[in-house]
Amino acid sequence: MDKKLSIKLFVFFCSCLSIILFATTVQSQEKAKYGEDDQCIVCHKDEEILPEDFSEFDIHLQTGLSCKGCHGGDETSDDEDLSMSSEAGFIGVPEKIEIAAMCGKCHSDINFMRQYQPRIATDQVQQYHESVHGKKLAQGDTKVADCTSCHSVHNILPAIDARSTIYALNIPATCKKCHSDKEYMAEYGIPTTQYDEYVESVHGVALLERQDTGAPACNDCHGNHGAMPPGIASIGHICGTCHVNNQEYFSKSKMAIEFQRDELHACEECHGDHDVKKTSDDMIGDSDSSTCVDCHEEGEEAYDTGIKIRQSLGGLVTAYDSAATLLKTVEHAGMDDLEMSYAVKDAKQSLTQARTLVHTFDFEQVKVKTDEGKTFVTQALKLGNTQMQDLRFRRLGFGIATFFMTIVLVALYFKIKDIERED
Amino acid sequence: MFKKSAEKSYNWLDDRFKITPLVEFMRHKQVPIHKHSLWYYMGGVALFLFLVQIVSGILLLLYYQPGVDSAYESIRFITTKVSFGWLFRSVHSWSANIMVFFVFVHMFSTFFTRTYSKPRELTWLTGSVLLVLSLVFGFSGYLLPWNELAFFATKVGTDIAGAIPLIGDPIKLLLRGGEGVTGATLSRFYAFHIALIPAVFTLFLFLHLLFVQRQGMHEPEFFHKLPENKKRMMPFFPNFVLRDALLWLLVLNIIIYLAVFFPWEIGVKADAFAPAPDGIKPEWFFMFMFQALKLLPAHMFIMEGEVFGILFFTLAGLVWFTVPFWDVFIKESMRPKIMKLFGISVIAFILILTIWGYLV
Amino acid sequence: MAFNRRAFLNTILGGGVIGWLGSIFYPVISFLIPPKIPEANVQSVNAGSIADIALNSSQILKFGRTPVLLIRSKTGEFKALAATCTHLDCTVQYRQDRQDIWCACHNGIYNLSGRNLSGPPPKPLSEYLVNIIDKEVIISKPKQMG
Ligand code: HEM
Ligand code: FES
């Protein structure tokens, strides 16, 4: 019995020990993974001929896919004649046309990729062939982007890594490398001003200045691997992924039908594409910055609708401003602004909604909201004015106190005079 | 009828406490009448304002809740929800500032008439303590609403205290109740403001007034030289007291006027993690020191400019408050002129730096 | 004559003092009377008794200066969230049919934990605590760090 127990214990300890040993060797193996036993890196490092963009953080290098994975050769030999011989399968720099297929060897194979990320997409190569880049490459144009143009060659990092060329904040700069180069793009006859326009746009400012990664970069509208200019039909849907209501209102409006008929781009026609600016109420109506007048002329019914919508928005804005001003006054006077601030907030909300409703191009619908907003403003003004009346009431109280004080003061003065006369 | 019962109760009290000598004393106490008599009222105004502070302060205490997430809210509550809360808060704030102002006026008036010299050295000294206490009163009260400006002003203010060589750090720690300005600081300042300082203040005020009553009003030199029949006097009671009352009424009314027409601002709630806003200002009565420290170069002699400034102000304060003990070493004939020059330069220094501080 | 003058003066003085005292004590007394809302700092809000709150319903409560959305789910759990949309400050609402939180302004959608699911809102809605004390639903501010 005792013996059995001790044997059991012995076995237990041994297995514990071996697990620990195994774990540590695995760890040390992992540590050794990069560099030491890869003769490609050893020599190229010694000779200082590592690729310019070489990075030890490269995700492939980190997970064990080293030079050989793409270039072939024998990484165990330190004799360059052997290691970089065609017998060893060395291919040198891969042809551009082969690159997508080369990445696809692994990246299109879900059974392989699953080991690293169960949910990873494996349709990148397929999409690439459908993209403008991919199609042109198939036609023999080697100036277009391949995988490495965006992902880099020897410094590939996942999209969530802030150092990556495809991290949301870095994407515009990555596309810009080619698309803002006038000379490079000359033969394609497409503009090269997209980046400059984008950085000034609401989206560019939000992404690049405020670092709001929710804001769209190039790929959010053009797609990643299947990059293409969006077609007429899809523009509304693209903007609509975020601007849901605007898209919904628009698609149900009379305007949408006409747009389709005349092959006009939804959203873009008024807001622009890369250079989307912060909107203003003057985009509607008949002012200089109005976009309605681009198509509609005086005398048309639509023209008048534009003016009416503009006026009802303007009316609410003026009313809202007066309420906001009064709110400041009330606050500044140290009066109770709580109830009023709720009413002002409601008015603001109506205004926001009315502005969204502009996309119905239906004056009646906008008016319902602006009217609602105006009732909130009226309510706010009433509350504010009551507070200010209270303030005036305080002045009345002050007047009463002062009145008595004056009487006491005057009487006291004469009293003192009296006393002093007696002395 | 009314007169009779008043007389009766007076007799009842007199029987037990012998108050007649006290009244006689007050009646016989004489206040000189001359062209500078007005200054005799300044201390009284300061005293009255202190009483206003106590009354309005106690009222505020009923609703004020110290604490990082209640201080600001409770002040807002007082001004918006409690009836006449706005009045008492504004009165407390206005009167606090006006009190400091009158304390200064009072001090300079006693300085220029050289009231401080023998036998009134101790009156001057207790007064000095009262001035410092008033400033600390203001400093501690400033933080209580826990608004942005006060928060950062307190930070800067305690940092300055922390720059004092050797004892600076312990003082800063003691004031803040921790490393930074936090809720712990607020609790402390609250305790200082409503318990510690009022108690000490009351004690010194008592001594100050005791000395004044015991010694009677100071007569200026030129008054001494007048022949006895040319000296005009008025009894302290009731003449002077009634005049005091008249002035107090007026001052109170002015304060209420300010409270009604220029309600004291509440500002924005302090956020310890927000960056410091523009225009952090200490209260006006610290402005001259603040500005002076700002103007000093980073290094002076063997020390930091700030340390030099602090040492300078400490020394200057000491010199100022000990004036009765060293001015006797100045030749009698030169004394009035020299002291006048000294006082005027101090006022000019304070005024110029204060104005400068507000201009930039 | 002199006597009359003095009596007159005393009357005026007395009357004045009484009036003046009145105008000082009236504010003091009214100050002492506690206001309707007796506390300064809104730390918690009572939403009423559990029995009065229907399943799959919601209400907006005024928590000091911030509106708070109190939701009672289909299964009876309570959830309180800041009702101010993180996009452009509109007030959000609970949608009974979809059982999610919706902002009517630009169609922002949040789930019942306040996570922003779709539309423009960039951040989740912050959470408030819900406690049931004596069958009353009490909403309070989340514990702060530090
Ligand atoms: C024993 C008498 C006093 C009591 C019980 C008292 C109590 C209080 C209380 C509860 C507050 C907070 C409310 C508020 O901030 O409005 C406060 C604030 C304040 N106190 Fe006093 N106080 C007294 C005397 C003084 C004196 C003598 C001064 C000035 C020399 C002073 C200056 C201030 C100041 C400047 C504030 C800030 C006011 C503000 O910004 O709202 N207090 N005091
Ligand atoms: S304000 Fe809520 S989605 Fe825009």
The pLDDT tens digits for B89-123 are 999 999 999 999 999 999 999 999 899 988 999 99
DSSP letters, A14-58, are: HHHHHHHHHHHHHHHHHHHHTTTT-HHHHHHHHTT-S-TT--TT-
- Residue A312 in tokens: 């009802």
C30 interfaces chain B, CB cutoff of 8 Å: yes
Q: Of B243, B250, B257, which is closest to A416 when you measure between CB atoms?
A: B243
Return phi, psi of residue C139, to 5°.
-100, 135
**What per-residue confidence (pLDDT) applies to A56?**
85
**What per-residue confidence (pLDDT) applies to A29?**
47
- CA–centroid distance, residue B67 to ligand 1 (Å): 16
- CA–centroid distance, residue B60 to ligand 1 (Å): 8
In a mutational test of the C interface, the residue from B65, B77, B186, B255 whose CB has the highest number of chain C CBs within 10 Å is B77
- CA–centroid distance, residue B276 to ligand 1 (Å): 24
Residues C6, C23: one domain?
yes
**What per-residue confidence (pLDDT) applies to C144?**
59
Q: Which residue has the tokens 């027409």?
A: B261
Tell me the one-letter amino acid at C5. Answer: R
Domains and CATH numbers, chain B: 2-359 (1.20.810.10)
What percent of chain A has a predicted confidence (pLDDT) above 70? 91
- Every domain of chain A and the residues it spans: 1-32, 232-277, 301-422
ipTM: 0.83
Sign of the dihedral defined by the CA atoms of residues B276, B279, B285, B287, in that order: positive
Give dist(CA A40, CA B243) in Å, integer.
103
Ligand nearest to the CA of A356: 2
Residues C17, C64: one domain?
no
The pLDDT tens digits for B32-68 are 888 888 899 999 999 999 999 999 999 999 999 999 8
Residues C2, C55: one domain?
no
Number of domain units in chain C = 2
The pLDDT tens digits for A310-355 are 999 999 999 999 999 999 888 777 778 888 999 999 999 999 999 9
CB contact under 8 A, B256 and A409: no
pLDDT average, residue stretch C38-53: 80
Q: Which residues constitute the domain of residue C31? A: 1-37
Q: Which chain B residues contact residue C38 at CB under 8 A? A: none
B250 interfaces chain A, CB cutoff of 8 Å: yes
What percent of chain A has a predicted confidence (pLDDT) above 90? 44
Q: Which chain A residues contact residue B80 at CB under 8 A? A: 334-338
The pLDDT tens digits for A118-151 are 888 899 999 999 999 999 999 999 899 999 999 9
CB B237 within 8 A of CB A410: no
pLDDT average, residue stretch B267-281: 80
- Residue B258 in tokens: 């300010």
Q: Which chain C residues contact residue B87 at CB under 8 A? A: 27, 31
Ligand 1 pocket test, pick from B48, B144, B286 with the greatest ligand atom count within 8 Å of Cβ, gives B144
Buried b (16+ CB within 10 A) or exposed e, C32-56: eeebeeebbbbebbebeeeeebeee
**Which residues 167-196 on chain B approach chain A with CB closer than 8 angstroms?**
none
- CA–centroid distance, residue A25 to ligand 1 (Å): 70
Cis omega (within 30 of 0) for bond into B277: no
- Residue A168 in tokens: 């949301």
Residues C53, C123: one domain?
yes
Q: Scanning every residue of chain A, which has its alpha carbon at the shortest distance from the alpha carbon of C62?
A: A342
| pTM greater than 0.95 (yes/no) | no
Residues C51, C23: one domain?
no
- For residue A109, pLDDT over 60 is answered with yes
Q: Which chain B residues contact residue C37 at CB under 8 A? A: 77, 81
Residues C134, C65: one domain?
yes
Residues C102, C121: one domain?
yes
Closest alpha carbon to B340 in B109, B118, B124, B128: B109
DSSP letters, A325-385, are: HHHHHHHHTT---HHHHHHHHHHHHHHHHHHHHGGGT-HHHHHHHHHHHHHHHHHHHHHHH
Cα C138 to Cα C44, C68, C83, C110, C125: the distances in Å are 6, 12, 16, 23, 19
The pLDDT tens digits for A170-190 are 999 999 999 999 999 999 989
Q: Scanning every residue of chain B, which has its alpha carbon at the shortest distance from the alpha carbon of A418?
A: B239
CATH number, domain with residue C99: 2.102.10.10
Ligand 2 atom nearest C107 alpha carbon: 3
Q: Quickly count: other Cβ atoms within 10 Å of residue A297's Cβ.
A: 9
Q: Which residue has the tokens 């002129």?
A: B337
Give residue A104's pLDDT band: very low, low, confident or very high (50, 70, 90).
very high
